[in-house]
Amino acid sequence: MNLPSIRAAIGETISVTTTINGASRRFDVEPRRSLADVIRDEAGLTGTHLGCEHGVCGACTVLLDGEPVRSCLMLAVQADGTEITTIEGLANADGSLHPIQQGMYDAMSFQCAFCSPGFLMSAVALLRDNPNPSTNEIREELSGNLCRCTGYQSIVEGVETAVRIMGAQQ
């Protein structure tokens, strides 16, 4: 790139309106800013993590209109008019945990937990579409998220525990 083309890219902003964890938010962002950066830096929701910024590790996974997406691979401007859920939006207003959070807590699923936001959001989407997944289905669904600490067994157990909690709630 040369200086004029870089200068042209800087400074111009576009207005983006989204609903994040139930609250409507408006941001003026450069077109090139990633959704992940806007969630973390503009909305201040740092529970969504950046592990690789090239779409492989899945730590940045959020729900966009209910579907799990890599927020590092999306531009914030593409999220205009959408509804976003991050890890901060999982627990109930009274502070009680979402079944997936309780399941991961009870199964002692994580260690450093840097990857945890992505696993939680992927698991929420899985259990919404398939409330009684087999172990293989859980493993397959979570294979889009990398964890370097645990060897995954405890995370799979966390999802299975969440399934039991949701069963007990019904």
Partner 1 sequence: MTPGYETGPTSDRQTSGLGFVGQRVKRVEDERFLIGKGNFVADLTPDGVHHAAFLRSPFAHARILSIDVTAAAALPGVTRVFTAAELNALTNPIPPFFMADGVYTPLYSCMSEDKVRHMGDPVALVLAESRYVAEDALELIEVDYEDLQPTATIDQGLDTSREQLWELADGNVLADTSFEFGDVDKTFADADRIITRTFECPRQTNQPMETRGCIVLVDPDSGHLELHNTSQAPHFLKWAIAALLVNDGAVRNLSTFLRNKERRKAFSSASKEFLKTNIDKLKSSDPAGQKAQLSKDKSMLRHQARMAMGLLAAEDYPTVKAGDIGGAFGSKGSVAREDIAVAAAAKATGLSVKWIEDRVENLLDGGQAREERFTVSMAVDEDGTFRGLKVDAVLDQGAYPAFPISGVATLLFWKVYMPGPYDFGAFQLNGKIVATNKGKVVPYRGPWANETFMRERMIDVVAAELGMDPGELRAKNVLREETMPAALLTGPTLDETMSVAKTLDHALSLIDNDQLARDKAAARERGHRLGLGIASYHEAAPGPPNFFESIQPGSDMFLYEDGRAEIQADGRIVMYTSQSPHGQSHQTTYKQVAADEFGVSMDDVEIVWGDTDRTQFSFLGTGGSRGGPLGAGVMRVTARELRRQVAAVAADMIEASPDDIEIVDGNIHVAGVPSRGIGYRAVAAKVARETGIADGPVFAESMKYEGVGNGGWSTATHVAWVDIDLETGMVEIPRYLVVEDCGPIINPGIVDGQVRGGVAQGIGAVFYERHHYDDDANLQSGTYMDYLIPTSMEIPDIEIEHLETLTAGENDARGVGEGGMIGAPAALTNAVSDALGVQVLEQYLPPHRLLELAGVIER
The span from the CA of 123 to the CA of 142, in Å, is 7
For the bound state, the minimum distance from the C-beta of residue 131 to partner 1, rounded and expressed in Å, comes to 15
CB atoms within 10 A of CB 167: 11
8 A C-beta contact, residue 55 and residue 73: yes
- The reply on whether position 117 binds partner 1 by CB under 8 A is yes
The span from the CA of 113 to the CA of 136, in Å, is 23
Binding residue (CB under 8 A) for partner 1 from 16, 35, 104, 125: 104
Site string for partner 1, 8-37 (x = CB under 8 A): -xxx------------------x-xx----
Nearest to residue 110, comparing CAs of 162, 156, 52? 156
Nearest to residue 154, comparing CAs of 125, 126, 113, 122? 113
For the bound state, the minimum distance from the C-beta of residue 81 to partner 1, rounded and expressed in Å, comes to 24
For partner 1, which is the closer residue by CB, 40 or 64?
40
Tokens standing for 76? 């914030």
Determine the interface stretch with partner 1 among 12-20, 74-82, 103-111, 125-133 (rule: CB under 8 A). 103-111
The span from the CA of 168 to the CA of 165, in Å, is 5
Determine the interface stretch with partner 1 among 63-71, 74-82, 83-91, 126-134 (rule: CB under 8 A). 83-91
Helices (H), the chain: 3-9, 35-37, 99-106, 116-129, 135-142, 153-169
- The reply on whether position 155 binds partner 1 by CB under 8 A is yes
Count of residues near partner 1 by CB under 8 A? 69
- The reply on whether position 152 binds partner 1 by CB under 8 A is yes
Residues that bind partner 1 (CB under 8 A): 1, 3, 6-7, 9-11, 30, 32-33, 40-41, 45-54, 56-57, 59, 86-88, 90-91, 97, 99, 101-102, 104-106, 108, 110-117, 120, 138-140, 142-156, 164-165, 168-169
